Each structure stands twice: as C-alpha cells, then as structure tokens.
Amino acid sequence: MHVANQRTPPEAGISVREAEVLAALGELLTTAEIGARLFISIRTVESHVPSLLRIRTCSPVVRLTPF
C-alpha cells in the first residue's frame, strides 16, 4: 500500500512516489505512460517533475531526460 507522506532515505530528499516517477522517467516513459503505470493523472506526474529537477545531485544531462 502506498503512503503519500512516506519518504525515501533522507539523503535522497524525495518521496517514494517521486522516486517512482523518477525511475519511470529514467525508462523514457511519457507522462501519460507514467500516469497509467502508477495509476495517477498526467497532471500529478507533471507536478512531481519540478521537485525532481531541483535535486542538486542531478546532472544537467539527467535534467534533460524527456518526459
């Protein structure tokens, strides 16, 4: 069962759901495909992207991963 406020390890600084979205982005899935896989709306997927782009350890190349 998914818990909305559950967090990944503190060093990651992202929620479990954000980690799921990030993993799907890494597979080069579209927002529609990610939404379908995670049973969330495209808008919800899109709402996670800005926080993922703020991850300081993320290289510019990773930031350009298409979604």
Tens-digit pLDDT profile for residues 41-52: 999 999 988 888
Is 7 inside a domain boundary? no
Give the global pTM.
0.66
Count other C-beta atoms under 10 Å from residue 37's C-beta. Answer: 15
The residue with tokens 């709402």 is 47
Predicted pLDDT at 10: 47
Query: What separation, in Å, do the N-terminal and C-terminal C-alpha atoms of the chain show?
Result: 26
Is 2 inside a domain boundary? no
Q: Closest Cα partner for 19 from 38, 1, 41, 39? A: 38
Stretches in the chain below the pLDDT threshold 70: 1-12, 56-67
Our count of domains for the chain comes to 1
Is 65 inside a domain boundary? no
Predicted pLDDT at 67: 46
DSSP tag of 3:
-
C-beta of residue 37 within 8 angstroms of C-beta of residue 22 = no
The CATH number that applies at residue 21 is 1.10.10
